[in-house]
Structure 1
Amino acid sequence: MKAGATLPNVTFHTRVRDEAIEGPNPFRWEDKTTADYFAGKRVVLFSLPGAFTPTCSTYQLPGFENGHADFIAQGVDAIYCMSVNDSFVMNKWAESQNLSKVDVIPDGSGEFTRKMGMLVDKDNLGFGMRSWRYAAVINDGVVEAWFEEPGLADNHPEDPYGVSSPETVLSYLVDKKEPALA
């Protein structure tokens, strides 16, 4: 994916809280499309190899959650975290991270990730097919800016992190707002 590319149209199978449902699991299935998340909005999307993994849970997700106000101040409407995990896992991870500002998107089958060209095999870690780590600024379903970690490859021996960090994405947004120097 590169700047100017249109996001693929897919359906995400999500679980959403429904107060009408009693019991310990008050959620119902709700399908959401790419348009539901991205149409008419400027958002930051970041995708990572897996919920509950160290870099994702310690740095990337908390960084976007804690920096939410800074992103909103730069004209971002929402921040989404995506992973090739099902909705149950993503919801539990969001709960364990005390998320209130970043929304999670489950790409359980990896369809969106595959169509983005970011699906990689991580069998070397026992993960199976997962997302390569990246971030993007998406404006009305079109990639405005792309931040892909180096070394995209199946069974990569490392998990590069830096290009897709909250700090890097925020720096792009701040610099983009600066007037051009003559």
Structure 2
Amino acid sequence: MPVKKKIPFVAFHTRVRDETIGGPNPYRWEVKTTEDYFSGKRVVLFSLPGAFTPTCSTRQLPDFEKLYDEFRKQGIESVYCLSVNDAFVMNAWGKALGVEKVKLIPDGSGEFTRKMGMLVAKDNLGFGMRSWRYAAVVNDGVVERWFEEGGLLDNCESDPYGVSSPQNILETLRTLDTATASSNGPD
């Protein structure tokens, strides 16, 4: 669905590899903001309930990684995966899955997720506060297209997945491309 909502300003506390540190954990803290991630770029952002969880680890993140080059062909500069997990967990998850193309964003405190209206309780699963599953095409910090799983609810018994899948987003982008090409047909 088309939306023209500016994403909220938030600072994310990330860990980045720094070989000058040495030792078994050569990472340093780096604060990145929504402006760093979204200004002047057209990106896909997808958010999910948690690193190392079944659907997120076996389907959602791996599929976005596999289809990354297809997103690039559709004019997407980057693909971001956001979760209400800290930087240590997000880095370990990315390493465990061999993620190289999708960038992982840790929303450890859930501030971005809350400001997006997507923070939900998952106490029924022992998770605490987490993100509802959604995705967006964001163009220069403004949501261009929104893909939200149905049933947004605290302590939801199900974990819907489909609307925010990379396959669905790609199909939407391709349809938009075809519609734009048709409306700009030959002179």
In the superposition, the TM-score normalised over structure 1's length comes to: 0.98
Is 1:161 the counterpart of 2:154? The answer is no
Tell me what 1:33 maps to: 33
Tell me what 1:83 maps to: 83
| C-alpha RMSD of the superposition | 1.3
Is 1:119 the counterpart of 2:119? The answer is yes
Note the residue ranges of structure 2 that are not aligned, 5 or more in a row: none
Tell me what 1:58 maps to: 58
Tell me what 2:145 maps to: 145
1:159 is paired with a residue whose SS is: coil
- Aligned-pair CA distance for 1:144: 0.5
- Aligned-pair CA distance for 1:2: 6.7
Q: How far apart, in 2, do the equivalents of 1:158 and 1:24 lie? A: 39
How many residues align structurally? 182
Name the amino acid aligned to 1:77. Answer: E
Q: How far apart, in 2, do the equivalents of 1:54 and 1:98 lie? A: 16
Task: List per-residue Cα deviations over 1:108-163 (Å, max 9, x = no partner).
Answer: 00000000000000000000000000000000000000000000000000000000
- Aligned-pair CA distance for 1:180: 3.6
Q: How far apart, in 2, do the equivalents of 1:2 and 1:57 lie? A: 28
Residues 169, 5 of structure 1: CA spacing in aligned structure 2 closer, same or farther, 3 A cutoff?
Answer: same
Note the residue ranges of structure 1 that are not aligned, 5 or more in a row: none
Name the amino acid aligned to 2:148. Answer: E
1:44 is paired with a residue whose SS is: strand
Q: How far apart, in 1, do the equivalents of 2:166 and 2:54 lie? A: 16
Task: Please give the residue correspondences for 1:14-25 in structure 2 after superposition, counting only pairs within 5 Å.
Answer: 14-25=14-25
Tell me what 2:72 maps to: 72
Q: How far apart, in 2, do the equivalents of 1:27 and 1:139 lie? A: 30
Name the amino acid aligned to 2:24. Answer: P
1:79 is paired with a residue whose SS is: strand
- Aligned-pair CA distance for 1:7: 0.3
Is 1:175 the counterpart of 2:175? The answer is yes
Q: How far apart, in 2, do the equivalents of 1:100 and 1:150 lie? A: 30
Q: How far apart, in 2, do the equivalents of 1:62 and 1:173 lie? A: 20
Instruction: Look at both structures and tell me which one has the larger radius of gyration over its CA atoms.
Output: 2
Name the amino acid aligned to 2:155. Answer: N
- Aligned-pair CA distance for 1:19: 1.0
Tell me what 1:98 maps to: 98
Runs of 4+ in 1 over 6 A off after TM superposition: none
